[in-house]
Amino acid sequence: MTKLSVNINKIATIRNARGGDIPNLVETAINCQKFGADGITVHPRPDERHITKKDVFDIKPIIKTEFNIEGYPSSDFIKMVLKVRPEQVTLVPDGPDVITSCAGWDTIKFKDYLKEIISVFKADGIRTSIFIDPKIEMIEGAKICGTDRVELYTEEYASNYFLNKVKAIQPYVLAAKKAIELGVGINAGHDLSLENLDFFAKNIPNLKEVSIGHALISDAIYLGLENTIQMYKRLL
């Protein structure tokens, strides 16, 4: 079964809007796992507009499933990940001024750069994943970089799902098949939701994990966190 990692950035956004410690990030992470999540994802950014560095260290001890830390591999980010030692680190190409992830890595152009960073994490026993667009050449480049997995950037699929879901998913199917051929694990994330997740999961072979935050937390406002997590799990 494909694992569900819940991204709790949006909980931190709500907390930071008011200050203080409500809603509490550690309690949220505990409950997400209690309610069936297979992992917790956080994406700290340099300006700490949602997840802070303190959050990352506070959450780590209560993880009973898997901890996935996403981020741009700046020197500070690398140092933090090596101290926390999560089960997985996902490298994204976002600059500090980007609101949310909007593109995958060019694994050919940045091959040497990524290869060096990935080797550092893998030497410390941390599984690596690279955030990429669903393109065959990017999968091939990721393999050369030495990553364990790729995370397919699914915004384009989500945007076109209601227009033509069969056409929308084709690049992802082809990318997944190439990843399988090359022995690279497959994760996916960005704008996956209760509406489009089922079709995606059923059509992407060997899909190991999806990371979902914005849609899931938004659904939880109406449906409750436990119920929402279980609804997403049933789709997987």
Catalytic residue among 50, 66, 190, 209: 190
Residue pointed to by tokens 């980010």: 77
DSSP letter (8 states) at residue 190: S
Contact 190, 152 (CB under 8 A): no
DSSP letter (8 states) at residue 124: T
| 214 noted as active-site residue | no
| 66 noted as active-site residue | no
Catalytic residue among 43, 50, 151, 209: 43
Beta bridge partners of 127: 88
Catalytic residue among 66, 70, 151, 209: 70
What phi, psi does 108 have (nearest 5°)? -90, -50
The count of other CB atoms within 10 Å of the CB of residue 74 is 11
Q: What are the C-alpha distances in Å from 168 to residues 67, 157, 171, 173, 212?
A: 30, 5, 7, 10, 19
| 70 noted as active-site residue | yes
Helix, strand, coil percentages for the chain (3-state, nearest 5): 50, 15, 35
Residue pointed to by tokens 């809603």: 23
Parallel/antiparallel/unpaired status of strands 39-42 and 67-71 = parallel
Active site residues: 43, 70, 190
